[in-house]
């Protein structure tokens, strides 16, 4: 559909969809927080607060992976998409265990790439 002008009128709908896929509010990264579990979806390199680029996929209501690129490094809290299961942060990375609030805590380095998946 063609729109005259600068297309600024579509930015709200794009932000709404992005926020359904990824949120990073109150210091916690959440994946697919408002996306229907019955609908498959994926996204690539959405930007999260703190200079993180995040990619992920949801199939049949389950999140299959989370890839994170940390541009500046720092502490990152992630609402675990895998419940209480332990999570591997890449083939050589540490095993992360959710805290009582269900958060995974990952210390990232500038330029670090982290591929999260359940053990």
How confident is the model at residue 106, as a pLDDT? 95
Whether residue 2 is contained in a domain is answered as: no
Least Cα distance to 28 among 94, 88, 76, 100 occurs for 76
Whether residue 3 is contained in a domain is answered as: no
Whether residue 36 is contained in a domain is answered as: yes
Whether residue 68 is contained in a domain is answered as: yes
The total domain count for the chain is 1
Task: Assign 64 to helix, strand or coil.
Answer: strand
Least Cα distance to 18 among 51, 43, 53 occurs for 43
Least Cα distance to 79 among 40, 25, 37, 19 occurs for 25
How confident is the model at residue 5, as a pLDDT? 58
Whether residue 13 is contained in a domain is answered as: yes
How confident is the model at residue 19, as a pLDDT? 93
How confident is the model at residue 90, as a pLDDT? 86
For residue 73, give every residue at least 6 positions away whose Cβ sits within 8 Å of its Cβ, in sequence order, or none.
Answer: 108, 109, 110, 111, 112
For residue 39, give every residue at least 6 positions away whose Cβ sits within 8 Å of its Cβ, in sequence order, or none.
Answer: 58
pTM flag (> 0.95)? no
How confident is the model at residue 93, as a pLDDT? 82
Whether residue 42 is contained in a domain is answered as: yes
Whether residue 90 is contained in a domain is answered as: yes
Residue 105 belongs to domain with CATH number: 2.60.40.1180
Yes or no: say if 21 and 5 are a contact pair by the CB < 8 Å rule: no
Domain residues for 114?
A: 8-118
Whether residue 82 is contained in a domain is answered as: yes
How confident is the model at residue 91, as a pLDDT? 81
The one-character DSSP state at 68 is E
Least Cα distance to 71 among 31, 104, 112 occurs for 112
Sequential pLDDT tens for the chain (119 residues): 555 655 666 667 888 899 999 999 999 999 999 999 999 999 999 999 999 999 999 999 999 999 999 999 999 999 999 999 999 998 888 899 999 999 999 999 999 999 999 98
């Amino acid at each position: 559909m063609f729109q005259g002008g600068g297309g600024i009128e579509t930015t709200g709908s794009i932000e709404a969809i992005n926020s359904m896929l990824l949120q990073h509010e109150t210091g916690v990264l959440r994946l697919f927080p408002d996306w229907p579990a019955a609908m498959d979806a994926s996204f690539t390199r959405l930007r999260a607060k703190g200079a993180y680029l995040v990619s992920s996929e949801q199939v049949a209501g389950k999140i299959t992976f989370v890839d994170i690129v940390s541009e500046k490094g720092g502490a990152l809290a992630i609402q675990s998409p895998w419940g209480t299961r332990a999570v591997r942060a890449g083939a050589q990375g540490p095993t992360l265990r959710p805290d009582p609030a269900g958060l995974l805590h990952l210390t990232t380095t500038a330029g670090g790439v982290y591929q999260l998946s359940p053990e």
